[in-house]
Amino acid sequence: MNVIQNHLPTEELQAIDAAHHLHPFTSGDEINAKGARVITRAKGVWLTDSDGNELLDAMAGLWCVNIGYGRDELAEVAAQQMRQLPYYNTFFQTTHIPALELAQRIAALAPGDLNHVFFASGGSEANDTNIRLVRSYWQNVGKPTKTAIIARVNAYHGSSMGSASLGGMAAMHAQGGLPIPDIHHIGQPHWWAEGGDRDPEEFGLMRARELKEKIAELGEANVAALIAEPIQGAGGVIVPPDSYWPEIQRICDEHEILLIADEVICGFGRTGDWFGSQTLNIRPDIMTIAKGVTSGYLPLGGSIVSDRVAEGLNKDEFNHGYTYSGHPVAAAVALENLRIIEEEGIVERVRDVIGPYLARKWEGLNDHPIVGGAHAFGLMAGLALTPDKQSKAIFDTPPGTVGLRCREACFRNGLVMRHVGDRMIISPPLVLSEEEVDMLVDRAMRALDETHGWLREEGII
Ligand code: PXG
């Protein structure tokens, strides 16, 4: 352990954290009693904690550190931009070079005629923008009744009032009076958990047709948009059956519904293309971006809209914006990040080399006695923990008990993997090597073995 310890001892850092820091998606009492894990540095795909332990970060932070940790180029660009122009806004008829160059760059990368970018500081803000943007669009083009937005159960679109309303997370809606009015939810294409005896393709069509039913129920004249992640991320890396997206696209086209693809996780290489919409053949009118656009080095998000949507929106003043929309330092870092992704061929490597390699190794976990439905898509993957893979049964314990146990076993084995209920999921940096994939899967296997042992000891299986 040759890490320089230039900080307080772990217990003292934990005590300060417990006294003053409120954490997202965390029970305060629990973490304060136990002490938070303190991460002090990172390089490539490896994190180091305050005790000098090294962890393989199979979550790329929170699905965002696409180019891996520790790229000096981004630090250099940030420092240069801070010296030249650390801040200026893009309101009131002004602009600056990093924002306009980034908008041009993103427009060039985005498919079809998605040529216009409205910046935010993250995915939640961008999705809040989308709610106001689609309603303004329909108002400006003479269809002001089109205000309803359809989203999906178990989707994640952010934590602000608007974006959490779009999301379909029951636990979030239970706190703080959500969803806001005029947001409606349809089912998710989660065949493993909800498909029952149906064939996956038949189930995919059935779930897609819920959109048609919802439009009929609300009235086409009242529906502004559908928002959906190409692959649900935080919901558990849920890859829809092949039949699902073509049918969704067809219904949106048929009914004049704007399609918003939330690319916050799928975007910038994770699916083996620049955007998940390209991998899945989706033609969105709007895409939400964040996370991988800067590889998480600085906060930046945005909405990319088509020529048609921009034309409608631009007819009137859009009374919306954030102090940090297009922040020059974040934009400069994004440009450098995109340069690295392109010049190093990172997207192609996900598609042709490391994605297929991860899929082969990850899907091998299906042989484990408590694993069902292990499946990878690009550089994200999920599996279900199950007491019986034939019947796709769930455990008798409260949902998430076994998943949490498995996550703790992953940490003991030097691996960061996330659990969503009793599903385990990964989304590693796009730059991990074959050797690191092997380490990831070996460690995951050890954690699964430990979880299996515990399930037997407790008599749960
Ligand atoms: N859309 C999607 C698809 C996301 O995954 C957001 C929007 C919101 O982005 P911001 O930048 O506002 O956080 C996200 C964020 C998890 C987890 O536990 C996932 C996210 C955020 C926090 C935790 O998997 N995704």
Whether 233 lines ligand 1, by a CB cut-off of 6 Å, is yes
Whether 131 lines ligand 1, by a CB cut-off of 6 Å, is no
Residue to probe by mutation, ligand 1, list 59, 129, 130, 156, most atoms within 8 Å of CB: 156
Phi first, then psi, for residue 375 (nearest 5°) are -150, 135
Are 79 and 213 members of one domain?
yes
Whether 158 lines ligand 1, by a CB cut-off of 6 Å, is yes
Whether 234 lines ligand 1, by a CB cut-off of 6 Å, is yes
Q: Which of 298, 325, 343 is the last residue of a domain?
A: 343
Whether 264 lines ligand 1, by a CB cut-off of 6 Å, is yes
Examine residue 118 and state whether it is found in any structural domain, yes or no.
yes
Kindly report, residue by residue over 73-97, the tens digit of the pLDDT.
Answer: 999 999 999 999 999 999 999 999 9
Considering only CA atoms, which residue is closest to atom 23 of ligand 1? 62
Residue type, 346: I
Are 328 and 441 members of one domain?
no
Whether 167 lines ligand 1, by a CB cut-off of 6 Å, is no
- Distance between CA atoms of 226 and 247, rounded to whole angstroms? 13
Q: Give me the mean pLDDT over the 344-362 stretch.
A: 98
pLDDT at 4 (0 to 100)? 53
Are 436 and 299 members of one domain?
no
Are 266 and 358 members of one domain?
no
Examine residue 20 and state whether it is found in any structural domain, yes or no.
no
Residue type, 460: I
Kindly report, residue by residue over 19-60, the tens digit of the pLDDT.
Answer: 999 999 999 999 999 999 999 999 999 999 999 999 999 999
From ligand 1's centre to the CA of 233, what distance in Å? 8
Q: Give me the mean pLDDT over the 168-180 stretch.
A: 96
- The DSSP 8-state label assigned to residue 367 in this structure reads G
Count CB-CB contacts under 10 A for residue 3: 14
Q: Which of 296, 324, 343 is the last residue of a domain?
A: 343
From ligand 1's centre to the CA of 66, what distance in Å? 15
- Distance between CA atoms of 5 and 171, rounded to whole angstroms? 39
Q: Which of 343, 361, 389 is the last residue of a domain?
A: 343
Which CA distances in Å does 301 have to 126, 128, 144, 440?
A: 6, 11, 27, 29
Examine residue 55 and state whether it is found in any structural domain, yes or no.
yes
Kindly report, residue by residue over 278-320, the tens digit of the pLDDT.
Answer: 999 999 999 999 999 999 999 999 999 999 999 999 999 999 9
Are 421 and 403 within 8 A, CB to CB?
yes
Nearest-CA neighbor of 286 among 91, 137, 158? 137
From ligand 1's centre to the CA of 446, what distance in Å? 28
CATH label of the domain that carries residue 245: 3.40.640.10
Quote the domain boundaries for residue 184: 73-343
Are 190 and 275 members of one domain?
yes
Are 284 and 381 members of one domain?
no
Considering only CA atoms, which residue is closest to atom 19 of ligand 1? 234
- Whether 2 has a pLDDT exceeding 70, the answer reads no
Whether 429 lines ligand 1, by a CB cut-off of 6 Å, is no
Mean pLDDT of all residues in the chain? 97
Are 326 and 337 members of one domain?
yes
Are 105 and 219 members of one domain?
yes
From ligand 1's centre to the CA of 160, what distance in Å? 11
Ligand 1 atom closest to the Cα of residue 233 is 5
pTM: 0.98
Percent of the chain with pLDDT over 70: 99
Residue to probe by mutation, ligand 1, list 128, 289, 291, most atoms within 8 Å of CB: 291
Q: Give me the mean pLDDT over the 224-232 stretch.
A: 98
Whether 156 lines ligand 1, by a CB cut-off of 6 Å, is yes
Examine residue 24 and state whether it is found in any structural domain, yes or no.
no
Examine residue 2 and state whether it is found in any structural domain, yes or no.
no
Examine residue 50 and state whether it is found in any structural domain, yes or no.
yes
pLDDT at 5 (0 to 100)? 61
Examine residue 181 and state whether it is found in any structural domain, yes or no.
yes
Whether 62 lines ligand 1, by a CB cut-off of 6 Å, is yes
Considering only CA atoms, which residue is closest to atom 15 of ligand 1? 158
From ligand 1's centre to the CA of 157, what distance in Å? 6
Structural domain total, the chain:
2
Q: Give me the mean pLDDT over the 423-432 stretch.
A: 98
Kindly report, residue by residue over 234-271, the tens digit of the pLDDT.
Answer: 999 999 999 999 999 999 999 999 999 999 999 999 99
Kindly report, residue by residue over 102-116, the tens digit of the pLDDT.
Answer: 999 999 999 999 999
Kindly report, residue by residue over 406-423, the tens digit of the pLDDT.
Answer: 999 999 999 999 999 999
From ligand 1's centre to the CA of 8, what distance in Å? 31
Residue to probe by mutation, ligand 1, list 57, 62, 172, most atoms within 8 Å of CB: 62
Are 77 and 50 members of one domain?
no
Whether 263 lines ligand 1, by a CB cut-off of 6 Å, is no
CATH label of the domain that carries residue 382: 3.90.1150.10
- Residue 54: enclosing H or E segment and its boundaries? strand 54-57
Examine residue 1 and state whether it is found in any structural domain, yes or no.
no
pLDDT at 6 (0 to 100)? 80
- Whether 1 has a pLDDT exceeding 60, the answer reads no
Whether 387 lines ligand 1, by a CB cut-off of 6 Å, is no
Are 143 and 85 members of one domain?
yes
Residues 311, 314, 316, CA angle at the centre, nearest 5°? 135
- Whether 7 has a pLDDT exceeding 60, the answer reads yes
Ligand 1 atom closest to the Cα of residue 425 is 24
Are 362 and 401 members of one domain?
yes
Are 102 and 219 members of one domain?
yes
Are 447 and 362 within 8 A, CB to CB?
no
